[in-house]
Structure 1
Amino acid sequence: MKLTPESLRGHLAERLLPVYLISGDEPLLAGEAADAVRTAARSAGFSEREVYFIERAGDWDEVRAAAAARSLFGARRVLEIRLASARPGTAGNATLVALTEAHDPDTLFLLLAPRLDRDAQGADWVRAVEAHGAWVPVWPVDPERLVAWLRSRCRKLALEASDEALELIASRTEGNLLAAHQELSQLALLAGGARLTPDIVLGSVADSARFDVSRLGEAVLAGETARALRVLGGLRAEGTEPTLVLWALTRALREVWSARGGGAAPPWQRRGAALGKALRRASSLPFTALAQRAARTDRVIKGRVPGEAWDELMLLTLALAAPAV
C-alpha cells in the first residue's frame, strides 16, 4: 500500500498495519508522519519503543537480535529503524524483507529513510513493505504551492492571514517547511487572534531594529534617494536578511503599479503620502526594467547567478527612488 502524508491520518484511524516506511528529505512532514504512526501504535497498545540507527552493515545483527527477542514484560512494541541511506545493502535488504514478512502481532516496524530514487523504490524490501504494510513517500512542497501550504497550516493554528503576509513568510523561509511552521507558530502567539499582516510578520523579525524594512519602502516611494540608501546601509549593518529587503522593495514597486491603475492606497497615512509622491513620477518609472532587476536580485540572493546581493539591492533601490526625468 502506498499512502500520502495527507491520507495517512485517515488510514491510521481505521487500521494499523504491521510495517510503515516513511521516506523523504523534508524533516517536518516526515517527522509528523512518523509521530502519527507512533501515536496510533500507542493507542493500539504498543507501549514500548526501541530505536535502531543503521549506519553500517554490522548494525543489522542488532536489529535481527532485537526482533527475535521478546519484551521482558511481554508488552507490544514498536521497532523503529532509521536508515542513513536509501540503499541498506544486501544484509539490510534481506533483513528488512524477513522482518516485514514475519507478521509478529506484538511488533510494529517503523522504517525511516531518506528519499528513495527510482532504483531504490524497486528494491525487494520496499516492495515487501508495500505488500504487507504501507509506504509513505514525503516530497518537498513546490515553491508555487508553498503559500497554499502555509494557508492550510494557518487553518490548523486557527490563524487568519493575508495573502501578502503568507507570501512574505514563503519568501523568508525559502521552502524550509520546518522554519515556516515555527514562524507561523510564533506569529500565532504574537497576533493574539488578530489577522496576520505583513507588518506583524516584519515586526516579529526585527521589532527592536533601528532600521525597519518598511521605512525603506517608504523612502523609495517618496523618491528620497539619500534616505533610502541610509536605511539600506543600516539594514545591512544590522544583519537583516536580503530576502526581507527585496520583499520591501518589490512591495513598493507593486504598490506604485497598482495605484497607477486606480488601486487603493495603503490605509496608513505616512505610506499613503509616500505613494502619492511616487505616482507623480510614475510615468518615468521603467516598470519592466525594474521587475527584471528585482528578478535578477532574487536569483543572486538565492545563489542561482553570480553577484553580490547587497550591490543588487542598492541598484534596485536607486532605480526605484530615481527622480522624474
Structure 2
Amino acid sequence: MSKGFRICIILLMLMACGFFYRKTSKQPSTIFKSIISPGSKSSSSSSTYPATNVSFSPISSMDVLRKGNGIIFIETTDRMKPPSLVLCAIESAARVYKDRSVAFFMKGLPDINTMEDELKARNRFPTLSSFDNVYFFPLQMEKLFSDTPLMPWYKKVNPKFERYWTHVSSDGCRLALIWRHGGIYMDSDIISMRPIPDVNFLAAQSSQYSSNGIFGLINHHIFSWKSMESFVQNYKGAIWGHQGPQLFTRILNQFCVIPQFKSTEDVKCGNISFLHPQRFYPIPYPAWRRYYDVWQNVQTFNDSYALHLWNFMNQEQKSMVPGSNTLIEHLYKQYCPTTYGALERNQPIYG
C-alpha cells in the first residue's frame, strides 16, 4: 500500500469520526441534565438515544434558581388551565428578563421525575414552550414550608375552614420561596414591561402602604424571615389582606419610619427600596376596569416597570378580546405577543 493511499485512508477516517462526534454531541433541549453512569440501564426517558449508559434526572428548582435572580410565579389551586392573563404575565416576564429563569410553581402539576414528565408539563402551555428560560415545577407546600416558621402553622391549619385559603396559602408560599431562593415574586396578573433595577424592594400600593403582589429580596433576607414569623404569630386568615399587604406593611414599619414619597421618586427603608405606586399601580384598584376600556390615547406608562391588573377585583371575569381595541389588548400585543397571536387566531393555548 503506497504512503499516499494510507494518508487518504487516515484522512477519511478522521472526517468520519468528526461527523459522528457532531451528530452525537448535540444535547436535548430540556431542563433535564445528562448523567453519564457506566453500566446503567437505559430508561424510557432516554429511549431516543441509542447509548445504554445515559440516563436523565430532572433539574430541581434549586438548580434553576441558584443565581438568586429568578422570577417566581405560583398557582395555589389545582387548576391547570389558568386564564390567559396568567400566560401573558409569564410570557412578558420571560421576554423582559431574558437572562433570568422564570419559574412557575403549580399545585396541580404532578411530580416531574422523567423527561417525559417534563415534556408533558411544557406541552400543557404551547405559548410558553418556546421560551428556554421558563420552567414548571410542582408546588409542594409541606416540602416548601419545612425548616421555616410556617411549618407549625401549615400542620395545624385546616384549609376547609379557611375563608381565603387560596390567598393565605399563596401569601405563605411566596415568602418561603423567596426566603429559599431569592429573586422576584410576581402575582400572575402582573404584566412586565421593563426590568426592575432594584434587588431588595417592596412595592408601595399607596403612600406608606405596601403590597405583597410583587417584591424582590436576596435569599435568606431578614425581612422574609420576620414576615414568616409574624405570619404565624399574628395569624388572622379570615381578615382579607392581613397575611399579605398588611403583614408587609407591619414588618416594613419595624425597619424604619416609612418616608413619604416626593413626586415619583422611590424611598429607602434600611437596605430595602420602597418603590413608588407608579412603578406597578398607576391604575389603582378602584379603577381596575380601565384596563378593559378603550382608550383614546394609550399611555406609555414610562414610570412603570410592570402593571398589576387587579384580577381579584375582576368578579365579572372580564378578559382580553382580540379586536376590542381595549388597553389590555394593547398590552397583550406588545408584551405577550405569542399568547396574543394564539388567541387572535383562535388557536388552543393549552395542550
Q: Which structure has the larger Rg?
A: 1
Which is richer in strand? Answer: 2
- TM (normalized to structure 2)? 0.24
More helix by share: 1
